[in-house]
């Protein structure tokens, strides 16, 4: 049954997409544009007498219905707090809908471009928004969504890649050795950070999930929302080398402190979290490799060169985790 559902998802057709949206009483004008998403299938749908909508079709088996609804409730609460998060639309008192083998939600459509990370005032604004998300996120825990942990993002990623033979045999020893060293270094990072408390996070707060249009900002895609340390929603907004990241961090935290406190010890986690993201990304591509969309979009993934470079990048991360964290003064 799961295989049939996955195949249907991979071969989702325009008439099925439009039919699902119209089953909610929406009148489409037939225009459909696929948006940049691989984990789920996301489309901009033109409406006859209304602004366009965005329809998200969820990948089978990734999240339970309860976990999706928990994300929807979090986004709705944030929007109710006047934080510019884009929540799903409720139709018939429901935000998650089913049609045939598909689960989907619809959202208002907001245009925009990723934020320019050299804009100091915008970085400060983003810091304020992240702090407000965290203020709401710290009021209770997720019950259905997991935490960002070394075990799930690191150990499970390594084990899957080895078990499923994605890592070339001649690199097994080097890969497993560097992973062992990485996990020990991550543990030391968490110790230096004081094992900070976990709160509900956006979880994937990179520039692509922030839309800027003139003076308006919208935050989208809470699909990766989970429990974790506060710094997880900050470090992906940093770019460049250490000298460039330091003032960016200062502006972000200037804004953040207007609404919430921040423990600077969490800065010890930045390179550990970056390493976990690198490892999880490789395992994510491997887990989705049977989806033809992934083989088309990432043709370089299943090559020896990719794994050579992957092991090298992990070794570089090992060195970075042993360096002092970014400097920040209140």
- Told to judge if 221 belongs to the known catalytic residues of this protein, a careful annotator would answer yes
SS3 204: coil
Q: Pick from 155, 152, 137: which is nearest to 229 by CA?
A: 137
Q: How far apart are the first and last CA of the chain?
A: 55
**Given the residues 181, 204, 224, 308, the one annotated as active site:** 204
221, 223, 233, 291: which is the annotated catalytic residue? Answer: 221
Q: Which two tokens stand for residue 172?
A: 């097994």
Select from 103, 105, 107, 88 the least CA-distant residue to 9: 103
Burial 130-163 (b: 16+ CB within 10 A, else e): bbbbbebbeeeebeebeebbbeebbeebbeebee
- Closest by CA to 120, choosing from 244, 248, 242, is 248
Catalytic residues: 204, 221
């Amino acid at each position: 049954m799961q295989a049939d559902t996955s195949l249907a998802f991979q071969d989702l057709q325009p008439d099925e997409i439009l039919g699902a949206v119209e089953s909610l009483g929406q009148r489409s004008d037939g225009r459909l544009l696929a948006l940049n998403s691989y984990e789920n299938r996301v489309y901009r749908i033109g409406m006859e007498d209304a602004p366009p909508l965005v329809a998200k079709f969820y990948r089978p088996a990734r999240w339970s219905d309860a976990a999706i609804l928990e994300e929807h409730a979090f986004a709705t609460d944030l929007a109710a707090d006047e934080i510019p998060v884009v929540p799903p639309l409720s139709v018939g008192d429901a935000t998650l809908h089913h049609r045939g083998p598909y689960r989907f939600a619809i959202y208002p459509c907001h245009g925009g471009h990723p934020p320019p990370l050299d804009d100091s005032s915008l970085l400060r604004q983003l810091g304020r928004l992240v702090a407000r998300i965290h203020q709401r996120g710290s009021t209770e825990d997720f019950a259905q969504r997991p935490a960002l942990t070394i075990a799930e993002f690191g150990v499970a990623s390594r084990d899957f890649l080895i078990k499923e033979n994605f890592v070339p045999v001649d690199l097994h020893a080097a890969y497993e050795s560097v992973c062992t060293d990485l996990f020990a270094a991550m543990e030391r990072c968490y110790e230096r950070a004081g094992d900070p408390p976990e709160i509900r996070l956006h979880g994937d707060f990179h520039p692509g999930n922030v839309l800027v249009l003139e003076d308006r900002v919208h935050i989208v895609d809470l699909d990766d929302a989970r429990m974790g340390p506060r710094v997880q929603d900050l470090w992906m907004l940093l770019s460049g080398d250490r000298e460039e990241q330091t003032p960016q961090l200062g502006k972000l935290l200037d804004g953040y402190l207007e609404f919430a406190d921040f423990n600077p010890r969490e800065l010890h986690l930045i390179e550990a979290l970056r390493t976990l993201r690198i490892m999880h990304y490789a395992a994510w591509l491997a887990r989705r490799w049977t989806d033809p969309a992934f083989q088309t979009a990432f043709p370089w993934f299943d090559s020896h060169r990719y794994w050579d470079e992957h092991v090298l990048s992990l070794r570089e991360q090992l060195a970075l985790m042993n360096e002092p964290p970014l400097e920040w003064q209140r």
